[in-house]
Amino acid sequence: MIKITTWNVNSVRTRESHVADFLAREQPDLLLLQEIKCEEHQFPRMAFKNLGYDAVVVGQKSYNGVAVLHRVPVEVLHPRLPGMPESDTHARFIEVRTQGITVGNLYLPNGNSGGDEGYAYKLAWMEALRAHSESLMDADTDFVLAGDYNVCPTDADFAPRALPAGDALLRPETRAAFNALIWTGLTDATRALYPSETLYTFWDYQASAWDRNAGLRIDFQLLSPRLAERLTDVIIHKDERAKPQPSDHVPLSVKLAKAA
DNA sequence: ATGTCTACTCCTAGTAGA
């Protein structure tokens, strides 16, 4: 069995104790973090090292930033999303390999800031991700693409009035790009096990979103075909959102059975 | 849309991003 968790922590330094508590309690093999909001040298490695976890970090000052905490050895395959230009300095992707599985950890652009250019960047990023998934499929790789997608794929994935009309998370072009990614052959782990439940992974800090359950389902673990066959559990760690000083996202875990 | 949160700076108040 391998347990993989993804969590947008909205600053790893602010959320250090939450993350440490989660590792101690849940013992994932990999914890994929997004929005660490710091550079690599500022990453609080020691707090996690004490719990048996090492980190690979792609950081950036103030914004974005992804990291993989691992208690099993990993090889870093890509520190950025293949297909995006070198001039793109956003720290939004890291891909590692362990136990015969390639794991992409991603923080997809929100797309609501920066006007038309900001939204075009989101769509370009999504197309690069689709092309990357296609190339992994062509190579017959077992892989997971997990993280904060900043996409509500269907109307079942957000609460009524949780988003304004025309938000970048639910525009038709956004959904089309997400579908194109899925159609490379991926399985949304959450929907595979819970096809029709109302499930969210994010509640805004504003407008009493948590108290009103005005949430969004925007964090996903997408599985390649053989890994989808091995899926045994999906856990949305909703209790994290009720804690003091929480992230606005909660962790999402999958368990995959040992390869046959 | 913005009732909140985070990090940064021409740093203790205002801005940007989410």
| Segment A163-179, tens digit of pLDDT | 999 999 999 999 999 99
Rounded to two decimals, the pTM is: 0.98
**Nearest nt to the A114 alpha carbon by C1':** B17
Strand B contact with A108 (CB < 7 A): no
The mean pLDDT value for A38-61 works out to 97
Decide if pLDDT at A42 tops 90. Answer: yes
Beta pairing partners, A76? A96
Using the structure, give the distance in angstroms from the CA atom of A242 to the C1' atom of B14, rounded to a whole number: 30
Decide if pLDDT at A18 tops 90. Answer: yes
The mean pLDDT value for A38-64 works out to 97
> Which token pair is A253?
């875990």
- Is there a contact between A234 and A5 (Cβ–Cβ < 8 Å)? no
Per-residue model confidence (pLDDT) at position A247: 97
Decide if pLDDT at A219 tops 90. Answer: yes
Instruction: Tell me which residue of A180, A258, A186, A179 sits closest to A228, measured CA to CA.
Output: A186
Decide if pLDDT at A202 tops 90. Answer: yes
Strand B contact with A88 (CB < 7 A): no
Strand B contact with A118 (CB < 7 A): yes
Strand B contact with A196 (CB < 7 A): no
Amino acid in position A112: N
Residues in chain A, how many?
260
Per-residue model confidence (pLDDT) at position A260: 82
Per-residue model confidence (pLDDT) at position A185: 98
Per-residue model confidence (pLDDT) at position A238: 97
| pLDDT, tens digit (0-9, with 9 covering 90-100), for A93-117 | 999 999 999 999 999 999 999 899 9
Using the structure, give the distance in angstroms from the CA atom of A96 to the C1' atom of B1, rounded to a whole number: 39
Q: Which residue is nearest to nucleotide B7 (CA to C1')?
A: A62
